[in-house]
Structure 1
Amino acid sequence: MDGFPALDGVTHRFVEVPGLRMHVAEAGSGPPVLLLHGFPQHWWEWRKVVPGLADGHRVLCPDLRGAGWTAAPAGGYTREQLLADVVALLDALDLDRVDLVTHDYGAILGFALCLEHPDCVGSHVTFGAGHPFVRFHPRMLGVLWRLWFQEVIATPGLGPWTLRSGRLPRHLLVSPTVPDAWTEQDLELFVAPLRDPARARAGSALYRNVILGEVARISRGAYRDAHLTTPTVVLYGADDPAGLPLELLGGHEDRADDLRQELVPGAGHFVADERPDAVVDHARALFASRG
C-alpha cells in the first residue's frame, strides 16, 4: 500500500507483537483511548473522531490483523487470536488500562476484552454490533435478508473474489449511509487493500470465524454466565436498514452493571463516519463520568 493519508496531529508507528507487525496511528496526549475499527475499514475510519478525542486524550488507532497497514499473515483470523493481538499491543505500549471506542467486529473484540480482561478497560463506547447478551426474538428474522453479504464473504473462494473485485465492499460502505459521509478518497482507501489476495482471504476468514462465529457463540448461550462490569454505552444508528427496535435488544439487564443503549439519528451502521459528533460526545461524557 502507499503512504498514510494525512490527518493533522496524527503520527504513525509499527509495533511488533507475537507473530504480527501492527500499524498504529496515534494523536493527542492524556488518558489513553483505544479505537478498534470494523470491516471493511481500518484506522482511517476514525478520521472524523480523532480530532475531538485527541483534545485531552492519547488516541490510539491500530489496524487489526489483516487490515490497513498491519500485516496479513495466512492465519490467525479468530476471535481468540485477534483478542490476543490487542492484549499484546497494550502490553507492548505499556498500557495497563484504556478506555475503548469500538465498531463492528472491533466491538466483538471490545466486549471480549471487557469480559476477559476487565482490569484493562475503564469504559467502553461501541456501535455496529450490539452487546453479547441479546436474546433471540422471532421479529429479528425480518432483517436477516439484509445481511445476505455475510455468508457470501464468509464462503471460501467466493468471498475473497467478491472482496478483490471491490464492488461488494464499496456497496457495504455506501448503500446504508448518508450521502455526504464519504469522499471518493475515503472509499478508495478502504477498498484498495482488499485488492491484495492475502487481505481478501483475511477478510473472508474474519467473517467466517469472528463475525459469524460470534453469532453462533451468542446463539449457543456462550455469555449466559458472563457478567460485564465495564461501564458501557451501545450506540445504534437510527437509520440502519438492518437495525432492530431497542425493545428487542435487551437481555443485558442482569448481565451488566452499567450498560446503556442509545439511538443516533442520522446514522446507519457506520456511525463514526456519519455522526462522528455523536461518537465523540458520548465517549467524552462516559469517560468524564467515571473520571
Structure 2
Amino acid sequence: MSTTTAFWSPPLPAMPGAEHHVIETPGLSTHLAAIGEGEPVLMLHGCPEHWWQWSRVAPAVAARGYRVLCPDLRGAGWTVAEDPRLRRTTRLHDVLSLLDALEIDRVHLVSHDMGVLTAIQLSYEHPQRVRTAVQLSVWPAFATIGPRLFPAFTHLPRFIWHRPGASLAGTFSPRYVAHPMSPATIEAHLAPLQRPEVDAAVRPLTRRLVLPEAMRMLRGVYRRRRLTVPTLVVFGRQDRPTTEDLMGRLCRAPQRYADRIEFAYVEDAAHFITDDAPQEVAELCVDWFARAA
C-alpha cells in the first residue's frame, strides 16, 4: 500500500482530506482514494467517471463516522491492469480481491451508473460481504424491462462504438444533468481517458458488462432470485425516463423479490445525481446505513 501521488499521470483531481493508495492484487494495481474512520463504505463509480465522482459525497459521509473507500474500477481512472480483457464478472472479482487485500469482511455499498452492475453482482452473489446497499440512477435488477424504459439506453451507442480519442464530453449534456457542469469539472471526469488503456476499455466495458447484464435483466434472471441485502434505490426526478410512476409500474410488488428495498427521489437532480445533489445523496446514504443495517 502506497500513499505516494507524485507519479500519477494525468494529475489527480483534488478531494480535501483524501488519502491515495495503490492496492496490489493479482494482475491489478488499484488506485484507491480513502477518507474518514469507522465502518467501511465502498463507493463504485459510473462511466465515464472514476473515483473523483464521489469527491463531494465521500467527505460528507466520512464526517458522519465512516471510512469511505473510492476505488478506480478496472478500465477506469488510474487503476492499472496487466490484462486488458474484460468479462461480465471481471470487476466483481476485482472488488472481492480488493476487500480481501484490505481485510474487510463487510461494507456499506454505494454505486452509480455502470458501478451499479458490479454492486448488483456483489449483492446477489456474495451478500455476506454487503451490509447495506444504495444504488443511484439504475433500477433494481428484478425490474420488468419494457419499451418505456428503452430511452434510458439512448446513450449506449456512443460507448458501444467509441473510437479511440473521441470525446465523451457529450455524456454530460443537459439530457443527463440538472445543473450544467463547468468545463473544469467535465475535464476532471474525463482526464483518465488520456491514458490509452482507459480509452480502449470504453467499448469492451459496454459490450461485455453492460449489455450482458441488461440481457439478464430482460430475461428475468434476477426475478428468479432473492435480494437479501437491504437496498435503497435513488433517482433524480429529472432523470428521464426513470420516473417514480414508471418505477412503480416496472417494480410491482418488490417484496416478492427483495427482503427490504425502498425507493427515494431527489428534487432538482438528473442522471449524474452525485454532481447535481451531492449533499442529498450523502444524507440518504447515511440515513439508510443507520436504518437498514
The two structures have a TM-score, normalised by structure 2, of 0.90
The CA distance in 2 between the partners of 1:272 and 1:43, in whole Å, is 12
Bigger mean CA deviation after superposition, 259-268 or 56-65: 259-268
Q: In the alignment, which of 275, 278, 281 is matched to residue 276 of structure 1? A: 278
Whose helix fraction is larger, Structure 1's or Structure 2's?
1
2:177 is matched with which residue? 177
Distance 2:85 2:57 in 1: 29
Alignment partner, residue 212 of structure 2? 213
Out of 107, 113, 117, the position equivalent to 1:104 is 113
Give SS of 2:256's match: coil
Match of 2:125 among 99, 116, 121: 116
Work out the CA distance in 1 between the residues paired with 2:81 and 2:193.
11
1:226 counterpart = 2:232: no
Give secondary structure in 2 for the equivalent of 1:124.
Answer: strand
8 Å contact from structure 1 (residues 74, 202) kept in 2: no
AA aligned to 2:158 is V
- 1:237 is displaced (CA, Å) by 1.2
Confirm whether residue 160 of structure 1 aligns to residue 138 of structure 2: no
Measured after TM superposition, the shift of residue 36 of structure 1 is 0.3
Corresponding residue number in structure 1 for 2:200: 201
Q: Equivalent residue of 1:253, what SS?
A: helix
| CA distance, structure 1, for counterparts of residue 203 and residue 221 of structure 2 | 23
CA contact (8 A) 1:34 1:98 kept: yes
CA distance in 2, matches of 1:192, 1:32: 27
Residue from 8, 15, 18 that aligns with 1:7: 15
Cα offset, 1:243, TM superposition? 2.5
AA aligned opposite 1:94 = E
Q: Does structure 1 conserve the Cα–Cα contact (< 8 Å) formed by 2:148 and 2:241?
A: no
Asked if the contact 1:160–1:197 (Cα under 8 Å) also holds between the matched residues in 2, the reply is no
**Is it true that 1:250 corresponds to 2:251 in the alignment?**
yes
Which range is displaced more, 222-231 or 88-97? 222-231
- Aligned to 2:154, which of 148, 173, 182? 148
SS in 2 for 1:123: strand
TM-score w.r.t. length of structure 1:
0.91
Is 1:30 aligned with 2:38? yes
Q: Give the SS at the match of 1:134.
A: coil
- C-alpha displacement at 1:128, in angstroms? 1.9
Once the two structures are TM-superposed, the CA of residue 285 in structure 1 deviates from its matched residue by: 0.7
Indicate how the Cα distance of structure 1 residues 154 and 97 shifts in structure 2: closer, same or farther if over 3 A, else same: same
Which residue matches 2:288? 286
Q: Which runs of 4+ in 1 moved over 4 A?
A: none
RMSD after superposition: 1.7
C-alpha separation between the residues in 2 aligned to 1:183 and 1:5?
14
Residue type at the aligned position of 1:23:
H
The worse-fitting range, judged by mean Cα deviation, of 72-81 and 27-36 is 72-81
Unaligned runs of 5+ in 2: 1-8
Match of 1:41 among 49, 62, 70: 49
SS at match of 1:77: coil
Structure 1 residue corresponding to 2:90, chosen from 78, 81, 98: 81
SS of the residue corresponding to residue 79 of structure 1 reads coil
Give the superposition deviation at 1:257. 0.5
Q: Hey, what's the Cα distance between the residues in 2 that align with 1:140 and 1:9?
A: 39
Match of 2:4 in 1: none
1:73 deviation in Å? 4.8
Contact 1:22 1:63 in 2 (8 A): yes
* 8 A contact 2:10–2:194 mirrored in 1: no
Distance in 2 (alpha carbons) for counterparts of 1:248 and 1:108: 21
Structure 2 SS opposite 1:109:
helix
Measured in 2, the distance between the counterparts of 1:184 and 1:152 equals 20
Match of 2:5? none
Task: State how far apart, in whole Å, the 1-side matches of 2:206 and 2:249 are.
Answer: 24
Deviation digits for residues 257-287 of structure 1 (CA, Å, limit 9, x no counterpart): 0011122111111111111122111111111
Counterpart-to-counterpart distance in 2, 1:12 and 1:236 = 30
Contact 2:149 2:242 in 1 (8 A): no
Helix, strand or coil for the counterpart of 1:6? coil
Q: Partners of 1:160 and 1:29 in 2: how far apart?
A: 41
SS of residue matched to 2:80: coil
Tell me how far apart the structure 1 counterparts of residues 123 and 179 of structure 2 sit (CA, whole Å): 34
Shift of 1:206: 0.5
The one-letter code matched in structure 2 to 1:215 is A
Which secondary structure state, in structure 2, belongs to the residue aligned with residue 165 of structure 1?
coil
- Residue type matched to 1:154 in 2? I
